[in-house]
A and B are shown apart, each in its own frame.
Chain A
Amino acid sequence: MNLMRLLRGQAAEPGWFDFPGGIHPPDNKAQSLQTPIAEFPLQAQYVVPVNQHIGALAVPCVTVGDQVLTGQIIAEAAGFISAPAHAPTSGTVTAIEDRPVPHPSGLTVTCIVIQADGQDTWRPRAPWPDWPARSHADLLQRLQEAGVTGLGGASFPTAVKLAADRAHIDTLVVNGAECEPYITADQALIRERAPTLYRGIEVVHKLYDFQRILIGIEDNKPDAIAALHAGLQALPETLRQRCEIRVVPTRYPSGGERQLIWLLTGREVPSGGLPMDLGMLCHNVGTLAAVADAVIEDRPLISRITTLTGDHLRRQGNIEVRLGTSIDALLAWAGLDTAPERLIMGGPMMGFALNEPGLPLVKATNCLLVPTEQELPTPPPAKPCIRCGHCEQVCPASLLPQQLMWFAQSREWDKAEQHRLFDCIECGACAYVCPSHIPLVQYYRAAKGTIHREKAEHQQAERARIRFEARQARLEQEAAEKEARRQQRAQAAKARQSESATAVDKASDPVSEAVERAKAKRTGEQGTPNTAPTANLSAEQLQARLDQQRDRLAKAEAKLADAAPEHRKAMQMTVSKLQQQIQKTEAQLQKAES
């Protein structure tokens, strides 16, 4: 129990539970809240990447030259964790090619380029004013087709999250904390579109029938809090009773999923687990509004609210932009004065620097920050760690950032893992307070990447070993059979020679014995019995399939390495499934070969 709270006499019924650590950076939100959400004018060209979400890349389903309408699916979801992409406006597909996209890895990814016709003609839409009458499956399908992803920055496909096992989920946590400095997209959305947000909550509630709906918001957003309270009154009685607006103190990173859950419920998401493990779902307010638009208005996710901020921009504020809009065009519209030193997608704490011009805006772009050097000075060169422990005092995950840094520096991965490197949410609070200005988070990211890579390599080596041993076992078996046959022949010859009347040795049959032995050995080693149904495929076909699967596995593993911690579990599931499939195919291949 927190001492300060006791002193303030708030011990009885807490509106919030104190989480450890946290910092209070200047919030710099006022400058982008002066004006209402603007609408960005239609552009001549849009570039829509197929990887705007976490999970498998979407597959383009249009070809160059096709006419598309606003909201039409132009790339289809592929696989369980994936989301489709839509045409942000009507026009012609002029290219499908690899282009740079805003992604920490600096990847180039397939993008669909659309030349707008200026009409912005919608595809036929079918709003569902009667949505409560629709079935769960219908609702989910609609969400899936609408391409809604988490709009807080992580972009996990919402339909996947909502398709979770419905039985033991009883709490919805609505994340409106928006603790990151500078970003005000959520605040602006609540302020102006609270009713839509509540619609979204209603839709999700229909899917789950929550016992409790906790709306968390920081106390530095009084206008948004007022809007939330006003909106709450419009809800049906039964739902209203389950909703609680919880105003939490302003402290970074209260909007981190895990921190917010702790703040609102006093419970911890288990390490490596998901809120689901606690019977909770956590959704960002922007996501919920998008859910309402998608389900009720049949408006897929083709635009989002983005905060344009930083002193290099003359016009700071929130703006609703179609996905695929050129970021350069946006910044020019906002009055970017010079070539900026830095362009950050997201906030100053967790955002990442965009290093190329000409990138498109994507689903995850919640903020574009163009700070001047005075605003956010470049950190001076790092000094040695003076072990002051400031980093540890602010770590919301109760880690020892300093120790993690030592282990990362000395490449002691096992110790880093023991010190729970993977529970680090990369919030940057430690680096913020470090008086030596050590780029701590950079160390952690690098360490995590390396560990994932090494693990993947190790797994590959392990699989190779299993394959090798299986082959070895097969060769042994063959050798044993051969040897047995030889013996048998020799025996038979002997028998013939001695013309003994007795029949062929009946007690033991060396052939079957050897086969049995080898078989036992093989199943013991492989762990999986060879019971997979052999589709009648040739060895080559199997080999091709195997290659394909390995390819996919490698991709999935690479993605797993990049995945944000909250999606890791889902990605891990995909990876392990792929691994199982590969094992199966390997087994089949072996059979086919032998």
Chain B
Amino acid sequence: MLVASSPHTIGPVSVQQVMFRVWLATLPGFAALIWFFGWGYLINALLAVSTALVAEAIILRLRRRPILFFLTDGSAVLTAWLLALALPPLAPWWIPVIGALAAIVFAKHLYGGLGNNPFNPAMVGYAVLLVSFPVEMTTRWGMPAALASEAHSLAEAAQVIFAGLRVEQTLVDGMTMATPLDVYKTETALTSAAVVREDPLFSAGWRLYGWEWVSLLYLLGGVVLIWQRVISWHTPVAVLASLALLALVFSWAGDQYMPIDLHLLGGATMLGAFFIATDPVSSATSNRGKLIYGAGIGVLIYVIRTWGNYPDAVAFAVLLMNFAAPLIDHYTRPRAYGEQRT
């Protein structure tokens, strides 16, 4: 007979399911990305995921861990997937590959594998790329479909990604641009906010041509995750609230500070708040801790976007708060039932 300690029953949720549900929740946003910015995202994602799986398998082998047992937990897939969502869709093929390698090998396995990484692997991969290949990482964003002179096909996207600069320059130029955050920042520096807002990228009724849709669909996916209790609401709400608050407070000088809608919908904010900052492994644990952790990310996103040199700040904000997570945990242990109030 089998003797085990209680409980003798397990809940319906396994690690695979957690990963799978998070992955599912990114799909609406992902579909919008492809819809608005072309097939590059799909190619990126496939490249990143297969690299991650191969790297994970090899490392598990080297570390003499059961390969299938860990490979099937879905964590490597999800890491690579989230990384791919954050990469410029028309970056050369080796960008997602290197990013995924950095994420799996350095950020995950060098720290001991699943559950032991102090930093969010996807964001480590992203940061490594951004620091090492700033040009590829900032100029190869997809041109919103509505702005592009003609819609580009899967084949064209593949050409740009795999053949890189050896294809006609016009093809690359016709398909890529910087992110709206970047555009806004560089252009306001040259002219004024009022002028910039005339730009078709920002001026249509539903501006940014696709970015809001993507962000809102991420938001939707995130809300579903909260509703399914895969993630708790504390981190995303804190990220968004602190970022929105700062954006509101500073919005009096339009020429210097980005408006709130651009902050919330224009960049990777929603992806970061719901899918990156909530990465369980590297965040704070208690509910109060998550609020502080999330608020810290929101503030850092604002600070780096406004006063920093990088176009988007989610990755660095998350990584910086990863540093602080253990400290936050230390100071936010909840009061236990029956424990004296202090």
Q: Contact residues of A with B, CB < 8 Å? A: 19-20, 23, 25, 181, 258, 262, 268-273, 339-344, 346, 348-353, 355, 369, 371, 376-381, 383-390, 392-393, 396-400, 402-403, 419-420, 423, 426, 428, 431-437, 439, 441-442, 445
Can you show 23 pairs from A to B with CB atoms below 8 A apart? Answer: A20-B337, A258-B337, A268-B337, A269-B337, A271-B336, A344-B8, A349-B6, A349-B7, A349-B9, A352-B6, A353-B4, A379-B4, A383-B115, A385-B115, A386-B15, A387-B115, A387-B283, A400-B333, A428-B6, A432-B10, A432-B11, A433-B13, A439-B5
Contact of A342 among B1, B334, B337, B340 (CB under 8 A): B1
CB distance from B168 to the nearest CB of A (A): 46
Point out the residues of chain A lying under 8 angstroms from B113, CB to CB: 384
A343 to B280, CA, bound (A): 36
A181 to B7, CA, bound (A): 11
| B255 located at the interface, meaning its Cβ lies under 8 Å from any Cβ of chain A in the complex | no
Q: Is the CB of A386 within 8 A of B281?
A: yes
A352 to B286, CA, bound (A): 30
Contact of B4 among A273, A371, A420, A439 (CB under 8 A): A439
A400 to B113, CA, bound (A): 22
Q: Is the CB of B2 within 8 A of A379?
A: no
Point out the residues of chain A lying under 8 angstroms from B6, CB to CB: 346, 348-352, 426, 428, 441
Q: Is the CB of B280 within 8 A of A388?
A: yes
A174 to B73, CA, bound (A): 45
Q: Is the CB of A400 within 8 A of B285?
A: yes
Point out the residues of chain A lying under 8 angstroms from B69, CB to CB: 381, 383
Q: Is the CB of B337 within 8 A of A23?
A: no
A353 to B115, CA, bound (A): 30
Contact of B15 among A273, A436, A445 (CB under 8 A): A436
Q: Is the CB of A384 within 8 A of B337?
A: no
Q: Is the CB of A25 within 8 A of B1?
A: no
CB distance from A356 to the nearest CB of B (A): 9
Chain A binding surface SS class? loop
Q: How many of B's residues come within 8 Å of A, CB to CB?
A: 43
Q: Is the CB of A384 within 8 A of B115?
A: yes
Q: Given A383-B114, A386-B18, A441-B7, are A353 and B340 neighbors across the interface (CB < 8 Å)?
A: no
Point out the residues of chain B lying under 8 angstroms from A270, CB to CB: 338, 340
Question: Number of residue pairs across A and B with beta carbons under 8 Å?
Answer: 160
**Chain A: CB-nearest residue to B5:** A442
| B194 located at the interface, meaning its Cβ lies under 8 Å from any Cβ of chain A in the complex | no
Q: Is the CB of A355 within 8 A of B3?
A: yes
CB distance from B8 to the nearest CB of A (A): 5
Q: Is the CB of B11 within 8 A of A386?
A: no
Q: Is the CB of A435 within 8 A of B232?
A: no
Point out the residues of chain A lying under 8 angstroms from B287, CB to CB: 392-393
Q: Is the CB of B14 within 8 A of A393?
A: no
Shortest 8 CB-CB distances between A and B: which pairs? A428-B7, A384-B115, A271-B338, A388-B280, A442-B5, A348-B9, A420-B336, A397-B337
CB distance from B314 to the nearest CB of A (A): 20
CB distance from A111 to the nearest CB of B (A): 21
CB distance from B102 to the nearest CB of A (A): 20
Point out the residues of chain A lying under 8 angstroms from B64, CB to CB: none
CB distance from A247 to the nearest CB of B (A): 22
CB distance from B230 to the nearest CB of A (A): 8
| B150 located at the interface, meaning its Cβ lies under 8 Å from any Cβ of chain A in the complex | no
Q: Is the CB of B9 within 8 A of A181?
A: yes
Q: Given A269-B338, A381-B69, are A386 and B4 neighbors across the interface (CB < 8 Å)?
A: no
| B17 located at the interface, meaning its Cβ lies under 8 Å from any Cβ of chain A in the complex | yes
| B116 located at the interface, meaning its Cβ lies under 8 Å from any Cβ of chain A in the complex | yes
- Beyond A379-B4, A384-B115, A423-B339, 13 additional pairs, beta carbon < 8 A: A262-B337, A348-B9, A349-B8, A353-B8, A369-B8, A371-B8, A379-B10, A387-B280, A393-B232, A400-B285, A432-B11, A441-B6, A442-B4
